[in-house]
Amino acid sequence: MTLPVELQNEAPSKLSIQAVSKRFASRKRDKPVQALDNVSLEVAEGEFVCLLGPSGCGKSTLLNIIAGLENADTGGVKCDGADVTAPGRDRMMMFQESALFPWLDVLDNVLFSLRLKPGLNASERRDVAVFYLKLVGLEKFHHAYVHELSGGMKQRVALARALAPNPRVLLMDEPFAALDALTREQLYGDLQQIWKERKKTIVFVTHNVREAVCLGDRVILLSPHPGRIQEEFRIELPRPRNINSIDLARHATIITSALKGFGRGGPPMPMGDGI
Amino acid sequence: MKRVGKVVIFFAGLLLVWQVAVLLKLWSPVLVPSPFSVGRYLFEAATDGTLASAMVVTIKRLALGYAFGLLVGLPLGLLTARFQILEDTLGLMALGLQALPSVCWVPLALLWFGQTEGAMFFVVVMGTLWSVIIATDNGVRNVPPIYARAARTMGSTGLHTWLRVILPAALPFIVGGMKQGWAFAWRSLMAAEIYVTILSGFGLGHLLHYGRELNAMEQVIGIMFVLLAIGLLADKILFSPWERFLHRRWGTAR
Ligand SMILES: Nc1ncnc2c1ncn2[C@@H]1O[C@H](COP(=O)(O)OP(=O)(O)OP(=O)(O)O)[C@@H](O)[C@H]1O
Ligand SMILES: [Mg+2]
């Protein structure tokens, strides 16, 4: 089978987050919540960046702003130099809950995003959907319904659905948080493989330190109230990474202590294998 | 097949008890006719065409009013869910009117429309419309916002989101509302048919009414059986497929 044009890799995008601030009016107290305060971040083409931080530090908010689902109060996001003002197919999002549509079967869920993409006929759409379902290892489940899938399978379908329109950027908001450790480990492997094959720019939100170290080229540590970038760590471990490796655990320990001791700040700390 | 057997035995048993009670002359035969005389009445009414024509009249009234109620109620429910101002006005009105027993529309319909098909149509629509509006509105409000957000990231906007995401996501609620609307419409139509004579067509309700006037108990009971059968059939034909669909897709227990 020749790979249709549609399935060839799009060049991954460069993201530029420039001095983004966002505050939410809080209903109970008069004081509004400063979810993000002057957050700036550059993400290179094809880079895998993990946003790490405690609950409520604005990770989801930042991701939603990159997706175009929410607007920043000040500052903004550029994707390949163009301002992000609305959601776009070049930036697909994966949520913590799979957000799959229960009234559609697995194949139709993946086709949902493709039907909205112009320039494809029905059989091409089908080929593309089948290709991605195979990529995530669900070729035998085309006609299963969402409630018939395990948590891990649901997230695989969600991943296929997000990959199907061939976005340049993949935004993932704690996609594996609700899964058991074993399933998660499998998905770490698969995601790294897919990232390598499909060459996406990925922004991955998590509050699991090991997960961040296992997946990210860089781990960005956010501090809460107000949400700010506290520190960043470059992870230079060879891939594919195993979450149980000792090197990885060492990195995770350093980041965990940084996570615990907010307020010490500092320049980005390069961390090679030597540490 | 075992299930069918048990069902047959249950109903045959009921008939038998009935027949035995009649044979023992527990009640006056005028008040409790035997199953055979009811059967005879139904057979005669079926062969001379009165039953069929009454059924056609009733079912046509029901179908027209119900279809209209759905056709209007569904979009109105979507609109009240979408626009706060409509929710505060139309939504509130629907909530109030839905709580009103739909039989209460009969006197008003008669004054407005006279003894015409229009009155019947009106009563059925009033029975259907408000519960469909409320159920649709409620269903849409209960759709997890994550569905619409996910759809937006995939390029869905405006009407597409409403038709392809919100509407199907609200379906379990909407089917519930359709079912309730049907029940209200059916009850209020029967009340109206028993209550008023409309020369353009004699429905099942009229046959029931005349059964009473003529003291023909076998007719009253026979027609009640027909009504019961129609109710059961409607459930099996109209709603069971939807419920099976929802059950299959959502995996919800019935
Ligand atoms: N729509 C909203 N309205 C009001 N406040 C909000 C809203 N969304 C987020 N917030 C507030 O903004 C802050 C950041 O929220 P956000 O969801 O981005 O956190 P998070 O880092 O993703 O947390 P978690 O790890 O628990 O998902 C929180 O204090 C939250 O209460
Ligand atoms: Mg979050």
- Whether B250 has its CB under 8 Å from any CB of chain A: the answer is yes
Instruction: State residue A17's pLDDT score.
Output: 93
Q: Count of domains in chain A?
A: 2
Would you call A95 an interface residue with chain B, using a CB distance cutoff of 8 Å?
A: yes
Q: How deeply is A270 buried, as exposed, middle or buried, from its count of CB atoms within 10 A (0-12, 13-18, 19+)? A: exposed
The proportion of chain B whose per-residue pLDDT surpasses 70, expressed as a percent, equals: 99
Residue A96 inside a domain? The answer is no
SS3 A38: strand
Is A174 contained in some domain? yes
Tell me how far the alpha carbon of residue A208 lies from the centroid of ligand 2, in angstroms. Answer: 12
Residue A97 within a domain? no
Burial label, B62 (beta-carbon count in 10 A; 0-12, 13-18, 19+): buried
Last residue in a domain, options A116, A148, A166 = A166
Residue B224: CATH number of its domain: 1.10.3720.10
> A64 and A183: one domain?
yes
Same structural domain, B17 and B131: no
B124-166 confidence digits (pLDDT tens): 999 999 999 999 999 999 999 999 999 999 999 989 999 999 9
Tell me how close the Cα of A237 comes to any Cα of chain B, in angstroms.
33
User: Is the residue at B77 inside a domain?
Assistant: yes
Residues A189 and A222 in one domain: yes
In a domain, B128, yes or no: yes
∠ at Cα A153 (A149, A158), nearest 5°?
110
Q: How far is the CA of B137 from the centre of ligand 1 (A)?
A: 28
* B81 lies in the same domain as B189: yes
Determine the Cα–Cα distance for residues A166 and B42; give it in Å rounded to an integer.
67
Contact B153 A101 (CB under 8 A): no
Are A236 and A177 members of one domain? yes
Best residue among A34, A50, A60 to mutate for probing ligand 1's pocket (most ligand atoms within 8 Å of CB) is A60
Whether residues A161 and A178 share a domain: the answer is no
Testing the interface with A: which of B142, B143, B154 to mutate, by most A Cβ within 10 A? Answer: B154
Same domain membership, residue A79 and residue A176: yes
* pLDDT of A265 above 70: no
Supply the pLDDT for residue B254. Answer: 46
Q: For residue range B78-90, list pLDDT tens digits in order.
A: 999 999 999 999 9
Q: Which residues line ligand 1 (CB under 6 A)?
A: A 24, 33, 35, 53, 55-61, 207
CA dihedral (A251, A257, A259, A261) positive or negative = negative
pLDDT digits (tens, 9 = 90+) for A97-136: 889 999 999 999 999 999 998 888 899 999 999 999 998 9
Rounded CA-CA distance B191/B216 in Å is: 19
B44 burial type by CB count under 10 A (0-12 exposed, 13-18 middle, 19+ buried):
middle
DSSP for B206-234, please give it. Answer: HHHHHHHHTT-HHHHHHHHHHHHHHHHHH
CB atoms within 10 A of CB B8: 10
The domain tally of chain B equals 2
Q: Omega into B101 within 30° of 0, i.e. cis?
A: no
Residues B164, B42 share a domain: yes
Residues B9 and B85 reside in one and the same domain: no
Looking at the structure, do residues B129 and B199 belong to the same domain, yes or no? yes
Asked if residue B254 belongs to a domain, the reply is no
Asked whether residue A225 is domain-assigned, the answer is: yes
Q: By residue range, what is the domain housing residue A143?
A: 102-166
8-state DSSP, A3: P
B40 and B18: one domain? no
Nearest chain B residue to A91 by CA distance is B153
Closest CA to A204 of A232, A175, A177: A175
Each residue's pLDDT tens digit, B90-132: 999 999 998 888 888 889 998 999 888 999 999 999 999 999 9
Whose Cα sits closest to atom 14 in ligand 1?
A58
Q: Are residues B38 and B57 in the same domain?
A: yes
Q: Are residues B233 and B175 in the same domain?
A: yes
pLDDT of residue A273: 40
If one counts every other C-beta atom within 10 angstroms of the C-beta of residue A150, the result is 11
Residues A202 and A242 in one domain: yes
Pinpoint the alpha helices (H) of B24-162.
35-47, 50-82, 84-86, 92-99, 105-113, 117-141, 145-153, 158-161
Same domain assignment for residues A65 and A199: yes
- A154 and A187 housed in the same domain: no
> Which of the listed residues A150, A166, A182 is the one where a domain comes to its end?
A166
| Claim to verify: residue A86 and residue A37 sit in the same structural domain | yes
The answer, for B11 touching chain A at a CB cutoff of 8 Å, is: no
Contact A116 B248 (CB under 8 A): no
B208 and B155 in a common domain: yes
Asked whether residue A246 is domain-assigned, the answer is: yes
Contact check, Cβ <8 Å, A116/B147? no
If asked whether residues A63 and A195 sit together in one domain, one would say yes
Contacts with B168 from chain A: Cβ below 8 Å: 101, 103
CATH number at residue A80: 3.40.50.300
Confirm if B193 and B119 have CB atoms less than 8 A apart: no
- Structural domain includes residue B217: yes
Determine the structural domain holding residue B2 and report its residue range: 1-31
Is residue B169 less than 8 Å (CB to CB) from chain A? yes
Query: Do B144 and B125 have their domain in common?
Result: yes
Q: How far apart are CA A54 and CA A216, in angstroms?
A: 17
Residue linked to tokens 């409520």: A56
Look-up of token digits 């913590």:
A96
One domain, residues A107 and A195? no
- Judgement on whether residues A77 and A138 belong to the same structural domain of the protein: no
Q: Are residues B162 and B45 in the same domain?
A: yes
Contacts (Cβ under 8 Å, ≥6 apart) of B68: B121, B125, B128
Q: Would you state the pLDDT for residue A4?
A: 65
